[in-house]
Structure 1
Amino acid sequence: MCLIGFEWQPGTNIPLRVAANRDEFYARPTAALAWWPEGDILAGCDLQAGGTWMGVSADGRFAALTNYRNPSANKVDAPSRGQLVVDFLRERGSAAQYLAVLREQAGRYNGFNLLVYDGRQLLAYESYTDRLLRFGRGIHAVSNAGFDTPWPKLNKLKASLAEAGQDTSALFAVLENADLAPDSQLPGTGVPLVLERALSAIFIQTPTYGTRGSSLLVLSREGAEFIERRFENGKFTEENHFKFEFSGLT
């Protein structure tokens, strides 16, 4: 998952809404959004490493992950970050407890941002800065830098989510916006300028890499609605839609 926008409204009947894009190499094998064989996790699956980028558990836990873009610091032998999402969804403790343990071993992984919700608290961890975060009410976002870093596409996503509200069609239109940022507004993340331009879009399209899926998730106190649209080489292929009530309190 490389772009996540979310609206946090604690204490309401719908505390969390999420709109997100997963960007990946087209050749990397991926399974569509579905219940996993154990019946405890609803998520897509990275068939190469076995983890996921975003998911929700049967009892209402949620997690999503983005990579931190810093090519010079990448470790080729680092474990898959997608397993962190799976581990949290199957955890029984609180979000704070999980992140406290993760913080001690985060250096094993390449840089990441992890957003977790245990049914009560929404927390996040930035491994590159070793920073734990709590969020105020409202709309927030993260891509391949820290949470709410004012990259052009994050600013555009946050403003568009506020305007779209609960309109599903409008939200997916936001996630499929392929406009590029002007060169003067591009961040410098250590990749060539031509790639930095391509990555500045909400919906990314290059010959070998781009947006593979767009997801909308609504978490209420009682259940969840999860919609995923899949793309191959920038073209829509299918939509998967799940709505369910939580199996129990977390």
Structure 2
Amino acid sequence: MCIMAMAWAAHPRWRLILIGNRDEYHARPAAPLARWTDHPGLIAGRDLQSGGTWVGVSDHRRAAIVTNLRGYGPPDPQRASRGTLMTDLLAGQGGYADVQQAQYADFNPFNLILIDRDRADFLTNRPDPMRIALTPGLYGLSNGTLDAPWPKTLALKAALLGWLTQGADDPADLFEALAQRTLPNAGMPPATPSDAPDEAAASPIFIRNPIYGTRCSTIIAIAQDGAGLIMERRFGPQGEVTGESHEPFRWPDA
């Protein structure tokens, strides 16, 4: 993912609301949001080049989202895929499933938020591996530090806050916030350029570009009773909608 906003344990109805956009080369193949047959209980889209995912949930009461971290140069193809880290965390098995033992230096620079039962953590591996427990609240994340006041991050957080305070009824309404293609006149633009050469130095929430742009928008909504829904809306090179998937799930004993 390249931008997300999250409300964690901050609303009487919703335990978790997480929204975000995945920006990627349109030529990179991906499978739509679905339940994975090789990892029972895992629900996510799938990167068909490396085999992992960028955001997802599992019936094991885990949810996770990853972004790359700019300012460290292009990714090293010899390092492990960040999607593998995501898959192991969501499935609760594999070499990187244990957040206390995982070797984060194996990966290219990343930011990751993991919800594991009643705990939320922010994980990163640059400049040094770090794990920070998140208290209940509203968070925003793009390709910089957590809650960096980039214009698009501030705008998405504001949109999520507005939804939460004005009814918080239908999570699908948040697709509109993820579709914004203009930047607000607020915040501080990134101090370092993007590692993706075709991405604008200052980009809106939704990037319309035939080479590198927003590929999909994802919404995760989990109520206080554990009833959950993950939704994905997919886009083509011209920003046109190409498909949409909704997958319900339930977290037991939430």
Check whether the contact 1:204–1:211 (CA below 8 A) recurs between aligned residues.
Answer: yes
Give me the whole-angstrom Cα distance separating, in 1, the residues matched to 2:88 and 2:52. 9
Structure 1 residue runs of 4+, over 3 Å off?
10-13, 167-170, 180-185, 194-199
Decide which of 198, 209, 212 is 1:209's aligned counterpart: 212
Does residue 222 of structure 2 align to residue 224 of structure 1?
Answer: no
2:37 aligns to what?
37
| Change in 2 beyond 3 A, CA 1:185/1:116 | closer
TM-score of the superposition, structure 2-length normalised?
0.86
1:74 aligns to what?
75
Check whether the contact 1:186–1:200 (CA below 8 A) recurs between aligned residues.
Answer: no
Q: Cα deviations across residues 15-37 of structure 1 (Å, max 9, x unaligned)?
A: 21101111110000000000001
Give me the whole-angstrom Cα distance separating, in 2, the residues matched to 1:184 and 1:40. 39
RMSD, aligned CA: 2.7
| Change in 2 beyond 3 A, CA 1:236/1:125 | same
Tell me by how many angstroms 1:168 deviates: 3.3
| Percent identity of paired positions between Structure 1 and Structure 2 | 35
**Residue type of the alignment partner of 1:171:** L
Check whether the contact 2:25–2:212 (CA below 8 A) recurs between aligned residues.
Answer: yes
Tell me by how many angstroms 1:213 deviates: 0.5
1:238 aligns to what?
243
Tell me by how many angstroms 1:52 deviates: 0.3
Tell me by how many angstroms 1:151 deviates: 0.7
Give me the whole-angstrom Cα distance separating, in 2, the residues matched to 1:209 and 1:183. 25
1:128 aligns to what?
126
Give me the whole-angstrom Cα distance separating, in 2, the residues matched to 1:68 and 1:123. 17
**Residue type of the alignment partner of 2:126:** Y
Give me the whole-angstrom Cα distance separating, in 2, the residues matched to 1:10 and 1:157. 16
Moved more, 84-93 or 140-149: 84-93
| Change in 2 beyond 3 A, CA 1:99/1:150 | same
**Residue type of the alignment partner of 2:111:** N
Uncovered stretches (5+) of structure 1, i.e. residues with no partner: none
Check whether the contact 2:171–2:221 (CA below 8 A) recurs between aligned residues.
Answer: no
Moved more, 74-83 or 9-18: 9-18
Check whether the contact 2:52–2:84 (CA below 8 A) recurs between aligned residues.
Answer: yes
Tell me by how many angstroms 1:149 deviates: 0.8
Tell me by how many angstroms 1:171 deviates: 1.1
2:155 aligns to what?
156
2:138 aligns to what?
139
Q: Cα deviations across residues 76-123 of structure 1 (Å, max 9, x unaligned)?
A: 311110111110112169x9x832212xx2122110011111111011
Check whether the contact 2:194–2:201 (CA below 8 A) recurs between aligned residues.
Answer: no
Moved more, 213-222 or 43-52: 213-222
1:110 aligns to what?
108
Check whether the contact 1:31–1:45 (CA below 8 A) recurs between aligned residues.
Answer: yes
Q: Cα deviations across residues 65-85 of structure 1 (Å, max 9, x unaligned)?
A: 100012526323111101111
Check whether the contact 1:198–1:206 (CA below 8 A) recurs between aligned residues.
Answer: no
Give me the whole-angstrom Cα distance separating, in 2, the residues matched to 1:249 and 1:111. 35
**Residue type of the alignment partner of 1:244:** F
Give me the whole-angstrom Cα distance separating, in 2, the residues matched to 1:205 and 1:11. 32
Uncovered stretches (5+) of structure 2, i.e. residues with no partner: none
1:99 aligns to what?
99
**Residue type of the alignment partner of 2:18:** V
Give me the whole-angstrom Cα distance separating, in 2, the residues matched to 1:218 and 1:179. 26
TM-score of the superposition, structure 1-length normalised?
0.87
Give me the whole-angstrom Cα distance separating, in 1, the residues matched to 2:179 and 2:145. 22
1:178 aligns to what?
181
Check whether the contact 2:64–2:86 (CA below 8 A) recurs between aligned residues.
Answer: yes
2:31 alignment partner, SS class? strand
Moved more, 3-12 or 180-189: 180-189
